[in-house]
């Protein structure tokens, strides 16, 4: 309905809009409904708009009258369809029996309304803790100090280059000698060795959990930066990954510009880029691993290293490698032309300095959080160590980091236990979130749930992507806008070559290009908003798909298959990289598509009419109106003629009339099918551009979605995440492991060693018998579990192998043997139960 009304309004607007004539300046007889052109003899010739005709375009053609009539019929048909739908819905509500509303909860509602302010204030206080407010205040102070320091470091360079620009000298500044050490062939040789030394200290101080535990007293073990499948300190990890996004963007820009020297081969260049990425990862490795290890030594080293890295980063991106000002090291890349363009557009004042300082605000906020959080974690760890030392608790059970995370899953207030409790509750009986900001989000947009937490991997990937989008938007608005005025002439020549390839001698332009500033800025902002919305929708889809896999729903994600385990694992490897790449390309394609649309709209507004677009609309509007008319006519016939109870029941009504209609519709839809195939291709292209950043959406369709590498990576991520983060599995494993650790603690703290030995012997003998007893009881009470026993599964696998041999018997015989074996196993279990019961 909206599309039809917009097409009708657009047609009337275009037919009534006056034309700003570019030819026939002395005399224009064509009026507002035609274009005035000069022929070879110098006489004026009128080219009528749309469906106007006549010598001076004052008469309405028969095609125009038919299109207007069809448009009116479409509007009437749409109004009839929705009017009947509203009437049927009202009639259906009236036929339903009225339910009396109980007034039992009036007092409860009044009580709830009276205490609403108290509950809100309590949630606000719980959400905004003192530590969070303290960290936020310190972050703002530290960020302001860092921005001021960068301003002071950049200001001398800016003043020097402004003086050179005024006297037409080469625009570059001389770098300090320490910059050659900090940036030695794109490798930070000042902080990189320190990071490697810190990692070596962490490796020596960490203990092994499985391999050669008796060697070197268990020390010298591998150190991981973070556990991607848990939700412990995920905000800290996300902030670190957000800082890395800026350096990743610089590498991406180097790949796009391709400023490598000619003496280096392609393979060597890309190997150096890969090596630079690995160096970036090693530089931030100590910060992440220290937060995960959570030891005093690791946190102390990481705190000093983070402050050093931050100070070096501020100095490096101010005095050694600036965003706008070329140095003697990279002057040959542009010869100062980019800076000249920026000076001519933004001026030689403080605008460039302000832009450069403000563009680093997100990165400095992230650094401030890291620099404040690490000392707080260190102080907290030292305080707990003093508490344990004063408490004289020498017999504490030593647990690794992984064991502590697993045991936390069975705590009553954990996310996993809350998920299990909500399984036995109705949706209305679930407790609401205690986070005040989550209650402000409308449930129709996103419903916050306290029984689920996104993993550290999702937090890290999303932090990287959002910072990349912010940096891309800033760079696109700052660096490209000064070149738009020069691009207008080039784009006009290109458009004229496309629109006037049949008539080269035409002097009037069919598609005049407007000013590109406003369409470009709107396109960039539109791309940012659309990509952000798509990312938020994908975030909700990840949670929904994980819940579906938990309960065995395969309506959206393909069912897990054993033959695809390798594909799931490799797809899980590529998820983060594919996600970042797809988001960047989706952002670029959306910006390009929006830029084209905004240019067309701005051309209509500026010039009143665009002949090239009018010719396209003249061919498209009748076809679209005919398709919309046929669509709503079919809707009316389907609901009120060919379906029983006005479409509430999927049962055919008026069968004979339907057969006649299907016969004639067979020939009519052949033409509409051809047009629909073209529209299908156009929709696929537009949908692929807009949904490029959505890995859960495959433009190839349900049957071919496995050929989409992005969707395959998403499926692998979902399946691996569901297997390792299933709340029921984690809670059960945590409970069993906690009982085992509790028994070990009791045995280790026993007073008499003989008693310990006796208990261990008793435990050894009794545990084996009790396990068999429990297994027998479990299988008798659940006979369906018999088919999951090892020997049954082994026989099933052997039968599947024998099926490949053409000389074996048919499948039905193997199934009969399988059921016979299952029946015999159940009978044996019942006999074991009876014998044990008699004893």
Note the pLDDT of residue 368.
92
- Average pLDDT for 557-583: 87
pLDDT digits (tens, 9 = 90+) for 593-618: 999 999 988 888 888 777 788 888 88
More confident residue, 334 or 302: 302
Neighbours of 371 (CB within 10 A): 19
pLDDT over threshold 90, residue 827: no
What's the token pair of residue 7?
Answer: 């097409």
What residues form DSSP beta bridges with 399?
A: none
pTM over 0.85: no
What residues form DSSP beta bridges with 187?
A: 184
Average pLDDT across the chain, whole number: 77
Question: Length of the chain, please?
Answer: 839
Instruction: From residue 498, give the alpha-carbon distance in Å to each of 509, 510, 615, 654.
Output: 11, 10, 14, 54
pLDDT over threshold 80, residue 791: no
- Average pLDDT for 198-215: 79
pLDDT digits (tens, 9 = 90+) for 255-282: 666 655 456 667 777 777 778 788 888 8
- Average pLDDT for 693-709: 83
Q: Domain boundaries in the chain?
A: 128-209+222-387
More confident residue, 790 or 489: 489
What's the token pair of residue 683?
Answer: 């929709």
Note the pLDDT of residue 255.
65
More confident residue, 693 or 8: 693
Instruction: From residue 283, give the alpha-carbon distance in Å to each of 239, 240, 274, 438.
Output: 15, 11, 14, 35
pLDDT digits (tens, 9 = 90+) for 115-141: 444 444 444 444 446 677 888 889 899
What's the token pair of residue 532?
Answer: 């952000």
Only one residue has tokens 């240019």, namely 599
Note the pLDDT of residue 594.
92
pLDDT over threshold 70, residue 810: no
- Neighbouring residues of 285: CB distance < 8 A, sequence distance ≥ 6: 195, 199, 225
> If we measure between CA atoms, which residue out of 715, 730, 713, 737 comes closest to residue 453?
730
- Average pLDDT for 398-421: 84
Q: How far apart are the first and last CA of the chain?
A: 80
CA separation for the pair 200, 220 (Å, rounded)? 9
Give long-range contacts, CB 8 A cutoff, 24+ apart: 30-34: 30/56, 30/57, 31/56, 31/57, 31/58, 33/57, 33/58
Q: Are 170 and 336 in contact (CB under 8 A)?
A: yes
The DSSP secondary-structure symbol of 409 reads G
CA angle 821, 823, 827 (to 5 degrees): 115
More confident residue, 807 or 365: 365
CA separation for the pair 824, 157 (Å, rounded)? 88
Q: Are 435 and 123 in contact (CB under 8 A)?
A: yes
Neighbours of 306 (CB within 10 A): 21
Lowest mean pLDDT among 164-173, 668-677, 806-815: 806-815
593 membership: H or E segment, kind and range: helix 565-607
Q: Are 641 and 653 in contact (CB under 8 A)?
A: yes
Note the pLDDT of residue 353.
87
* Beta-carbon-side half-sphere exposure of residue 650 (alpha carbons within 13 Å): 0
Note the pLDDT of residue 521.
92
Q: Are 691 and 697 in contact (CB under 8 A)?
A: yes
pLDDT digits (tens, 9 = 90+) for 496-550: 887 776 665 555 677 788 888 899 999 999 999 999 999 988 988 999 999 999 8
Note the pLDDT of residue 528.
93
> If we measure between CA atoms, which residue out of 537, 740, 662, 646 comes closest to residue 95?
646
Note the pLDDT of residue 395.
53
Most confident of 182-191, 192-201, 738-747: 192-201
Note the pLDDT of residue 213.
66
Q: Are 574 and 582 in contact (CB under 8 A)?
A: no
pLDDT > 90 fraction of the chain, expressed in percent and rounded: 8
Note the pLDDT of residue 821.
44
CB burial of 385-414 (b: ≥16 within 10 Å; e: otherwise) equals eeeeeeeeeeeeeeeebebebbbbbbeeeb
- Average pLDDT for 565-586: 88
What's the token pair of residue 615?
Answer: 């010719």
605 membership: H or E segment, kind and range: helix 565-607
Q: Are 691 and 534 in contact (CB under 8 A)?
A: yes
More confident residue, 716 or 177: 716
Q: What is the dihedral of CA 673, 677, 680, 681, to 10 degrees?
A: -170
More confident residue, 746 or 533: 533
Q: Are 445 and 539 in contact (CB under 8 A)?
A: no
Lowest mean pLDDT among 177-186, 226-235, 551-560, 765-774: 765-774
Residue 360 — φ and ψ, nearest 5°?
Answer: -90, 5
Q: Are 368 and 509 in contact (CB under 8 A)?
A: no
Note the pLDDT of residue 755.
47
pLDDT digits (tens, 9 = 90+) for 84-106: 888 888 888 887 776 655 444 44
Lowest mean pLDDT among 148-152, 481-485, 495-499: 495-499
pLDDT over threshold 50, residue 820: no
Note the pLDDT of residue 303.
92
What's the token pair of residue 640?
Answer: 């009120």
Note the pLDDT of residue 348.
84
pLDDT > 70 fraction of the chain, expressed in percent and rounded: 77
Note the pLDDT of residue 328.
78
Q: Are 710 and 584 in contact (CB under 8 A)?
A: no
Lowest mean pLDDT among 243-252, 358-367, 407-416, 565-574: 243-252
CA separation for the pair 314, 293 (Å, rounded)? 28
Cα 193 → chain centroid: 35
């Amino acid at each position: 309905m909206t599309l039809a009304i917009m097409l009708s309004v657009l047609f009337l607007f275009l037919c009534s809009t006056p034309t700003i004539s570019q030819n026939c300046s002395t005399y224009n007889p064509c009026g507002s409904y035609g274009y005035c052109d000069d022929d070879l003899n110098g006489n004026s010739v009128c080219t009528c708009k749309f469906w106007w005709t006549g010598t001076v375009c004052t008469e309405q053609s028969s095609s125009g009258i038919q299109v207007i009539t069809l448009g009116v019929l479409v509007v009437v048909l749409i109004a009839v369809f929705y009017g009947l739908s509203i009437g049927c819905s009202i009639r259906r509500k009236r036929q339903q029996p009225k339910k009396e509303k109980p007034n039992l909860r009036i007092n409860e509602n009044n009580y709830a309304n009276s205490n609403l302010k108290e509950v809100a204030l309590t949630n606000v206080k719980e959400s905004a803790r003192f530590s969070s407010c303290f960290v936020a205040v310190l972050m703002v102070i530290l960020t302001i100090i860092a921005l001021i320091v960068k301003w002071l470091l950049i200001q001398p360079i800016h003043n020097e280059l402004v003086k050179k620009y005024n006297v037409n000298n080469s625009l570059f500044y001389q770098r300090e000698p320490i910059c050659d050490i900090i940036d030695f062939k794109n490798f930070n040789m000042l902080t990189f060795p320190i990071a490697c030394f810190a990692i070596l200290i962490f490796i020596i101080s960490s203990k092994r959990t499985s391999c050669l535990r008796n060697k070197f007293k268990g020390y010298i073990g591998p150190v991981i930066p973070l556990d991607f499948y848990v939700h412990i300190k995920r905000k800290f990890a996300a902030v670190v990954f957000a800082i890395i996004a800026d350096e990743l963007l610089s590498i991406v820009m180097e790949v796009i510009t391709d400023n490598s020297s000619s003496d280096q081969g392609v393979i060597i260049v890309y190997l150096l880029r890969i090596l630079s990425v690995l160096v970036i990862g090693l530089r931030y490795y100590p910060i992440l691993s220290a937060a995960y290890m959570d030891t005093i030594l690791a946190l102390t080293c990481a705190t000093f290293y983070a402050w050093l890295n931050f100070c070096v980063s501020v100095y490096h991106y101010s005095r050694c490698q600036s965003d706008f000002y070329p140095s003697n090291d990279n002057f040959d890349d542009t010869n100062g032309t980019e800076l000249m363009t920026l000076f001519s557009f933004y001026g030689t004042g403080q605008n460039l300095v302000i832009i450069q300082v403000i563009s680093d605000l997100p990165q400095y906020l992230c650094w401030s959080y890291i620099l404040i959080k690490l000392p707080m974690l260190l102080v907290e760890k030292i305080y707990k160590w003093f508490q344990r030392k004063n408490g004289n608790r020498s017999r504490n059970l030593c647990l690794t980091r992984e064991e502590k995370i697993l045991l936390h899953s069975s705590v009553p207030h954990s996310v996993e236990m809350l998920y299990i409790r909500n399984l036995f509750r109705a949706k209305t009986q679930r407790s609401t979130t205690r986070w005040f900001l989550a209650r402000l989000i409308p449930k129709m947009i996103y419903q916050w749930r306290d029984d689920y937490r996104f993993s550290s991997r999702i937090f890290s990937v999303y932090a990287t992507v959002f910072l990349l989008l912010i940096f891309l938007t800033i760079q696109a608005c700052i660096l490209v806008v000064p070149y738009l005025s020069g691009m207008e002439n080039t784009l006009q020549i290109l458009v004229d070559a496309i629109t006037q390839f049949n008539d080269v001698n035409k002097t009037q332009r069919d598609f005049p290009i407007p000013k590109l500033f406003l369409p470009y800025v709107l396109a960039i902002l539109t791309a940012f908003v659309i990509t952000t919305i798509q990312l938020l929708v994908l975030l909700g889809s990840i949670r929904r798909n994980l819940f579906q896999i938990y309960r065995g729903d395969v309506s959206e994600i393909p069912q897990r298959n054993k033959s695809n385990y390798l594909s799931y694992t490799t797809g899980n490897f590529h998820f983060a990289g594919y996600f970042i790449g797809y988001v960047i390309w989706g952002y670029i394609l959306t910006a390009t598509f929006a830029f084209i649309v905004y240019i067309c709209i701005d051309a209509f507004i500026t010039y009143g009419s665009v002949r090239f677009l009018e010719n396209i609309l003249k061919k498209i509007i009748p076809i679209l109106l005919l398709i919309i008319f046929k669509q709503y006519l079919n809707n009316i016939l389907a609901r009120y003629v060919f379906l029983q109870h006005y479409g509430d029941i999927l049962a055919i009504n008026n069968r004979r009339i339907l057969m006649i209609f299907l016969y004639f519709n067979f020939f009519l839809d052949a033409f509409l099918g051809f047009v629909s195939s073209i529209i299908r291709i156009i929709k696929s292209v537009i949908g692929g551009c807009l949904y490029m950043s959505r890995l859960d959406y495959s433009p190839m369709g349900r049957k071919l979605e496995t050929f989409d590498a992005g969707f395959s990576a998403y499926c692998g991520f979902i399946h691996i995440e569901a297997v390792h983060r299933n709340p029921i599995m984690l809670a059960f494993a945590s409970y069993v492991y906690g009982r085992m650790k509790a028994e070990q603690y009791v045995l280790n703290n026993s007073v008499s060693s003989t008693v310990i030995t006796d208990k261990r012997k008793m435990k050894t003998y009794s545990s084996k018998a009790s396990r068999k007893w429990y297994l027998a009881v479990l299988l008798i009470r659940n006979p369906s579990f018999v088919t999951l026993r090892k020997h049954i599964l082994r026989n099933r696998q052997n039968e599947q192998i024998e099926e490949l041999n053409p000389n074996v018997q048919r499948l039905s015989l193997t199934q009969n043997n399988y059921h016979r074996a299952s029946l015999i196993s159940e009978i044996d279990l019942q006999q074991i139960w009876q014998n044990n019961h008699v004893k």
